Structure formats: C-alpha cells, structure tokens
Chains A and B, each alone.
Chain A
C-alpha cells in the first residue's frame, strides 16, 4: 500500500495534477485494488508478423498511450511469430507474474488450441480487457446473379459446392463464417483456403472465386469501383457510416449469422491485481482519447470495452462459441 502511494506521489510530480486526479477517481471508484504501474519498459507480445491487423492496432494503441502520457513506461510491441500465435502465447505463459509483459489477444489464442488439440491458453492467462471489435461483410462478384443473401442461398441450393468461397487458412474467421452460413442456410459451399486474406482477395478480383468475407475497410474501395457486391454485414446492427448504412445485416435478411473479430490484452498467469487494474484504467483512458477514436473510425472498427472484471467470463464465452463453430466445420480436435 505504501509503495503504491509513493508511486502515486511520484506521478504527481511527473504528470501534473489533472491526470493524477483521474487516477484517483478511477482508482477509488471501483474499490478493491489500487492500480500500480510496473517499472521499466513493458512488452506487448503479438503473434502476427509486423503489419498484421492486431499488430497495427497494438502499435497504434501503444503510441497513443505513450503520447498522451497515460502510460509512461516505454511500450514495445514485439512480434513473436510462429505456431499460429502459440509461440507468443507460450512466451507469455512462461512469464508467470511478470508485470512487464502483456499478450495481445486475437482469435488464434482461442482457436489454435482447439484446431490443434492443444491445452487451452485463454484460461491460464490473466485477462485484462477486450477493447477492439471488427465487423465482417459478405460480398460476391459484381456479375453474380445473387442480389441479396436469399438469392445467394437459392443459388447455392441449385448444386452443392457450386459456389466457391475464397478465404484465408482453414479454421480462420473466413472459414468459420462460411460454416455459419452453411448451417443457417442449409447449403454447402466450396471453401478454398488461400495463403492469407490478400491472396484470397486477389483470387476474388481475378474471378477465380465467387464469394469472399471482408472487413468494412477492405470492401469499401471495391464497392466504390464496382468490383464487389456486398450482400450483408454480419453484425447485430447496421453500421451507421453513410457508406454502409444501406447495407442490411444478415439477420434482417432472415439468416441468423452474427460474427465478428475482437482484440484485447491479457497478462501472464498470476498477474498482480494491481497491474491488471493499472492496465484496465489505462485502456479506459485510451478509448476516451480523440486520437484513438479517430483511429478506430478510420479503420471502420468499434471500440467497446469489456473491462477486466468481465473479461474472464467474456473469453470463456468466446471459447465456447468458437468451439461450437469449429466443431461444425470439422476443424475441432478438442471436445
């Protein structure tokens, strides 16, 4: 307690009065634990190669956190690629109680153990927060006879596997979405895994596949140049931007398919609750900054915070949902 108090006094000198009062309000508002900043640089471990979406998001977040002096420790985004995020996950799992390491949470942290039959990872980490969400849009070639989701399902019913869907690796988000659509519509698609989203998009633009799953920021330029026809957004509600407000959800079209991507942070096993609190507060402040809001808008993402108090439950739910879908598409090795 004493140590925490002294670190707050130090912050008072460094940061000035305004930010400290914010620490106080947030710190005492939720009661049980006091936020405590670790000393020295903090590593944000990421499992994608540099430039991948989670990597870009965390680099952006780290920059804003440092620039706005929400976190004064140097934040280093480190790419520990390999093993479909398992190298990054194992690195952090082995850092038991280390306050200077956090792991980027992305779908593979949940799905790789399921598809590879490995012990689960998410429940061994100390969840901090899920705070970035992305929507998905379903699109067909502009010359496709399918004008809406119903048209697509009717077309797929004519002959099994006649509609080719391009996407990234087996077990990826694209694959899961295709599986959900198959189940909801009672049809079978011909899912072809390419080496990542870019390659799938190339195959789509070249007319080699008929359908694709894209993020809003990926589909927008294709819509504007009439190279793709969006059929549905797979969120609960329509997006509100002028570009997307006319695009109906799958639910509106009678197919109950809601799926998206989400990202966040978790600490190693046995992370000190004070460090969790420190991060939780930092993320609350991060999402309130204008810089973060404009970054999120630019990339057509959402930023709804699942705080540390609910993160564990939230991740357990994510695990169950992913497990169910992966079982349906025959990709689950664990039960």
Chain B
C-alpha cells in the first residue's frame, strides 16, 4: 500500500511527506528543531505545555507541532515573530510557577526548561512569581524517589510514563486551575503510594521535580572513614551509559575508565556486579531445572512458568498487582544483593575483615535498587547485604566532584576476588540478556553441549519488541536429565511493566505457554533504567544495547558457569548450587502487598 503524500511548506521550503506525520516530525525531517517540553517520544502526545506552537497561514490560533498532523497546502512558519513571542510567553509563564533555584538543583545543566529559558533569554521579572503564595515541601519519604513539586511544570510526562509504560499509575493529576498539580495517587507520600520505584518518571521528567534520592554524601563519608572497608560494585548497564554523563556520545563503553575512576576516588575494592550476575545465573538455571524436574518427574504442584527476580521494580510490581502469583518468582536474590551477601561473608573471611566494617556500595542504573537494598529481609549474613546504592547519574556527579578528567583516564581492570565475569553477565543489562545467559548455562547443563547458536548469540531473545518469545528443543540430553528429552523449552522475555502485566494476565488465566520468563521493569531493561543518564530514548537505548552486546563478544568467558571465580566460590564456600548456604545467603522470599 503506497502512503498518501501530503504537500506543505515549512519555513518557505516545499516538502512532501506521508499523511499522518506530525508537524514536529515533518520539521525535524527538514532539520528544523522545534522546542518541546511535554512531548516525549516514548509517550502518547499530550499537547499541554504549548511550547511547540507554530504559525500556519490562515489559522486563527497557533497550533502545537506535536499534535497537529500535516495537511495539504499548509504553509507553516516555525520561527515567525508571532511564534517567538508566544514561545517566550509560554516559557515565562512556566517559569513564573517554577522554583528557579537552578544553582541548587540536582538537574542543573541537564534540564530542558533551563535550556529553553537560556535559549529564549527569558526575563524572570516579567510576570509575577506564583510560587510565593504556595508552600511545597520536598517529599523525601521514599528510599528511591524524591519529589519536589516546586519544580514541576505539569507537563504530565511522569503521569503518562507511569500509566503507559508501567501501568502503575502512582502519579496523577489532582485539582484544577491554579490548584492543579501532579502528585501521587490520593496525594499520599511517595513511600505510601503503590510505586515500584522504577524511576522511569525521573528519567522522563524534563526538570528537577522528580529525582532519585541521593546517597552521594554517605558514600564520600564512608570512603573518608579509615575504619571502613568500602567495596564498590558496578552493574552491567552502568558501563555503557556512564560516558554520557562525562562527555561521551551514547553507546560509548567506558568500563576500564570507570574502574580507574572508582579506584582514584578511593574505594578500597572495585568489583563487579557481573560476578554475582554469573552466580545468579547458575543458581537460577538450577532452580529452573529443579522446578521442571519436580513438575515433570515428581508431578508436584510447582508454579511454572518460573520468572526472573533481578529487577526490583518488577518484584514490587508483582507484589502489589499479582500477590497470588509470587511463587512463580525465582527465589534468587538479584545480583546486587547476592554480591552484598557474599561480600560480607566469604569475601570478609578471605580478606580477614569484620563484616561490620565493610560498606557495600553499588552503582546501579536503577532507582528501585535503593529500595531493594533497604528491604528488611536483605540481611541474611547478619548485616545489610548492601549499604548504599547510587545511580549511574550520581556516579557521574561524583566523578565530576572528584576533579577527575574522565576522558583522559587510562583503563584498568576490576579488583578481585569478585571482579571476574562472563559475557553472559554483561548482557544482564539489556532486555533478553538474563534469558540468553540462563539458556547458555541451562542448555549446557542439560545436554553437555553449547547452545546451538552461532557465536553463542541467541538472537531470537534479543531485540526491542515489548514481548518476545522463543523455543529451544532439548535433544540428546545427558542421562541425568532424560525426562527433558524432546521437550521444547518455551521462554519469553518482557520489558516495561505494561508488558509484564500482559504476561501476568496470561499466567492468571492459566494460559501462559512458557516454562521460563524474563521480566525487566524498565523499557529495554537496565540500559533504559530509571537511574540512567537523561535523556534516555529509543535511539539512545539502542546504542547502549549495541555496546552491551559488543562488551559480551569481547569477553573471553561467555558463559556464567565458566566464570572461574564462581567455580571457586562454590568449591571453597557455597558447595553446590541451591545448597544450604546458597539458600541462606542467595535466596529470598517476597511480600504480599496491597494494591491501593
């Protein structure tokens, strides 16, 4: 079917473009940048900030480019005097209800409103400051997310994010007119509302109204305390995004430089969450096999499909929304927590440290990890698995604070023990990665052979579609797993909680055809996490994903169960996967939560 083409004129240039294209996109295709605030390509069009107005000949009003489709014969001006004046006024209005304390704002220099205000030279004195009569207190009740309404421009990007991408609806609009504001459902504190802490709202916020709760000072204090042994672990997705905070283009792999920077900042040991990601895979693969065995051989009433448990936003989501299905979750802790538990037991013993002197810091692409670290049950060693969690963004700030010229840094290697990892662990950072890693291990455990994919790349679970699935036939299995002979292992991958909900709805009605499902709370997985540099959009997520897969291919070891440190850990400390000590330290349980 050939698309109907529409002819129009933009800023004097005649163009023909497909019917249905929005003026914003049409202008972009002509290299004309129209400013936006409420528009975000991840979200449905709102058209409420009105900054992207353009002039159309013969029209009574100025339409918004983000919501107006091209029409035949349209003559559009994107930069006429009328347009410029209108945009300045809209900006001045937004600023009149905005706390303009940019000097003390976490998002300063990375704020869409600030950028536009500078671009349009907005005079803050034109209109009356509307904030004067309003009292806003910053909501710091949540472990993960801070909300400062004085910086909200009511674009509702967070509202749409929470509803469309995550299906959580923690944030919404209340009241109208002058009282209209964006707040939590029922206007409760952030800690009391049904929120998964995923941080996608932060990532989609154009200003500093929503930010992660920051633990930077606590980390500096720990580093500065000579009695403490401060361990830092870095999650897989951080190394392919941190560069964006420090002058690199999206997709830059800065693993080595990041490690150098962390060492220079004064951490006592710079280790890798990838190590515990490998550990997670081994535990989880065996858990899957054990469940299959109990179901297929013993005919036990075992919950299948098994679902991954590495994403804390997903965990909180299922606890709230599908509390009757918690037995489907893998009991494995996430890599962050596994790392913490091993660090305060095995590592402490090996390094002759008192676990109470160890401070576990983790750098995560995620705001929900901050909540996860503070879960009551996460202290099986007798000490909190993890003490402080900061995001990729916070690390970027810390590196800048330390006066390090990041781009000039040489590469260095992670310390050990717990610094070694496989390519399978690296791809944890992208949707489909846990599945691919688990399959590389599980298939080999069952058949004694490598997964039958070229270069171990299980391309069928890769990609960016919201829900993907794949089947792998198990043939010529090892005698121990004979009950799996001929079984077609059905797996699925979902990312973004709206897609997770769709998967769960099938589980609820008993029609889920899968054995194993990977779910990540954020779009594209951790590379698109709520703690990642802003902006994050489709293009940037794709670049980060490519970088992750390159990182995998460059690794000598590609399979989790071949990580020598993991093998050593089992030999020296844990015994076998799913063993007694594993259960004590590496596995957890979940909490039923209310839906409202």
A binds B: no
